[in-house]
Amino acid sequence: MLAVFDVEGVLLDAEYLPVLASLMGPEKEKEIWDITKAGIRGDINWEEGLKRRVHALRGIRYEDAKKIAENLPIMPGAKELCSALKKAGWKMIAVSGGFTIITDRLKDDLGVDRIFSNELIFKDGKLHDVKLNVTSDKAAAIRSTIKEWGIRKEDTVVVVDGANDLKLFALAGYTVGFCPVEIVKEKADDTIERRDLSILLHLLEKKFGKAVLASTSN
């Protein structure tokens, strides 16, 4: 079994760039939030929106960017969920339009097996640009790994919140919107409306039967 997660708004209870923008004042924070929300809703080209946001934050020091990244809160229920899935023998992938600076910690914090994300580029210790490894077609980033692991579509679960995540649904036999935007809510098999990822355990038991999580009670 495989669980595929978006990161910001799912495994992490925050959106990184708006928090980073707060270092530059409330006007900059609002500007970045507006672009972020438009991207999540699918109102603008996602890649262009990402570049615009990063370029608007040029000059932020690496030390400040790293400190904020390390302090983004883990989503309530995420540790419980990931621990249970790990014990039950599931594989876990995190795929993010965000950045390695916020996603690298998820291997240690949550036991995620493989992580795909973009990279912030710093020059002379200051934010300069972004290297895109993950586009709005997040499925393209992880398809070869799923094939390598030999995991079937019907054994794959995808958990996301934004319109830019929807192409992942094609890889999964079961899709879950986590506090999602409207279009994700319409297309997902199930929806979680409370910011508590442990609720997913109950949905998985209901969908696949207790056997799929049986070893969590051992």
What mean pLDDT, rounded, does the chain reach? 93
Measured at the alpha carbon of residue 91, what is the angle toward residues 85 and 97, in degrees to the nearest 5?
105
Alpha helices in 6-136, H assignment, sequence order: 16-21, 26-41, 46-56, 62-70, 78-87, 100-103, 106-110
Confidence of residue 211 (pLDDT cuts 50, 70, 90): low
159-179 average pLDDT score: 95
Average pLDDT over residues 195-210: 92
95-141: per-residue pLDDT in tens? 999 999 999 999 999 999 999 999 999 999 999 999 999 988 999 99
pLDDT at 214: 56
Q: For the chain, where are the E strands, in sequence order?
A: 2-5, 91-99, 114-123, 126-131, 156-160, 174-178, 190-192
What pLDDT sits at residue 39? 81
